[in-house]
Amino acid sequence: MSYLIIPKSYRSALSPEETEKGIKLVKDFFQQGLAKALKLRRVTAPLFVLQGQGINDDLSGVERAVTFPVKDLGDQKAEVVHSLAKWKRLSLAEYKIRPGHGLYTDMNAIRADEDLGNLHSLYVDQWDWERTITARDRNTRYLKRIVRDIYSVLLDTEMFICTCYPQLRPFLAHDVHFIHAQQLLDMYPDLSAKEREDAICKKYGSIFIIGIGGKLSDGKPHDLRAPDYDDWSTPAEDGLPGLNGDLLVWNPILGRAFELSSMGIRVDAESMHRQLELSGKTEREKLYFHRRLLGGELPLSIGGGIGQSRLCMLFLQKVHIGEIQASIWPDEQRKACLKAGIKLI
């Protein structure tokens, strides 16, 4: 229950019927805008991959993947994906997508180790996207340009939904503010990482925190990140390491920072080897994905994921992700939501 936030006097601005219609409106409008802004084409993605190939995302390294034996493969284990961070890069190579263009897909996952609450569900749905880049694009300027392009689509989507439902009012900041995780720690040295996110997000409205995964001056990373997809150790123009980050906005309904996307310029062979060494996971270099990357068979890329239910929750001004998607919740949480007038699907 510690993960449940119930604002005082919350009441959904939309009926269940309006909500269901609104979910489709948000998803259709945003994905069309995203595809146009980043020059992406839609592809079909897997729900599961074979275990032991290094394709699945291990997130922070401790989450258990949902696994099952495949009878026709001699009971070889398959895993439900956590995300498609590495699968998308393999697909860029397979489709021979040239620099400046990319792909996106609907990613559906099961994350059994999530702490269930307003923002986290066992079921994860997001737009996973990946775009081919050149060596000249591997810099902070390019990263910021892509973030601004995505944020522009978010602003357009918010305005569209508020036009469809006049009872909703726009609240996103006009611009996104960039800050490195180390600079954020320097600003708020006495706060935890999540408290720092709340403080900076409340101040600016929308932020992109650069450098997620590498250790900061206090000896800890701002947040955990796997060592084999985002580049969080290459120094940028300002000397601070990190070519990746998280996009967060201030959620006035919940009164806290609200993460919408994790994204970044992906590792090249040099930075992946370095990050695997820093993480003590160099044995991964023997896996299928890692061998192909180290062998120069995969294109340089930038990519990320954008939560679909999260986005609908934000723009339809809901307090709980269970108002957007069907999932399983602890009985105590369901009862508390019902008592507060929060209708979980």
Which among 246, 256, 261, 333 is annotated as catalytic? 246
Which among 12, 31, 83, 126 is annotated as catalytic? 126
Taking only the tens of pLDDT, the chain with its 345 residues reads 457 999 988 999 999 999 999 999 999 999 999 999 999 999 999 999 999 888 887 666 567 888 999 999 999 999 998 889 999 999 999 999 999 999 999 999 998 888 899 999 999 999 999 999 999 999 999 999 999 999 999 999 999 999 999 999 999 999 999 999 999 999 999 999 999 999 999 999 999 999 999 999 999 999 999 999 999 999 988 889 999 999 999 999 999 999 999 999 999 999 999 999 999 999 999 999 999 999 999 999 999 999 999 999 999 999 999 999 999 999 999 999 999 999 998
DSSP string, 55-100: -S--TTTTPPPPEEEEGGGTTEEEEE-S--HHHHHHHHHHHTPPTT
Name the nearest CA neighbour of 95 among 132, 136, 56. 132
Provide the b/e sequence for 91-130 (b: ≥16 CB within 10 Å). Answer: bbeeeebeeeebbbbbbbbbbeebebbbbebbebbbbbbb
Name the nearest CA neighbour of 84 among 123, 45, 38, 121. 45
Which among 233, 262, 308, 325 is annotated as catalytic? 262
Which among 12, 57, 137, 233 is annotated as catalytic? 57
Q: Is 114 a catalytic residue?
A: no
Q: Is 126 a catalytic residue?
A: yes
What pLDDT was estimated at residue 112? 87
What pLDDT was estimated at residue 63? 73
Q: pTM surpassing 0.85?
A: yes
Q: Is 28 a catalytic residue?
A: no
What pLDDT was estimated at residue 1? 46
Q: Is 131 a catalytic residue?
A: no
Q: Is 262 a catalytic residue?
A: yes
Which among 18, 259, 279, 285 is annotated as catalytic? 259
What pLDDT was estimated at residue 133? 98
Where do the domains of the chain lie?
Answer: 16-339
The third-level CATH classification (topology) of the domain covering 16-339 is BirA Bifunctional Protein; domain 2 (3.30.930)
Q: Is 325 a catalytic residue?
A: no
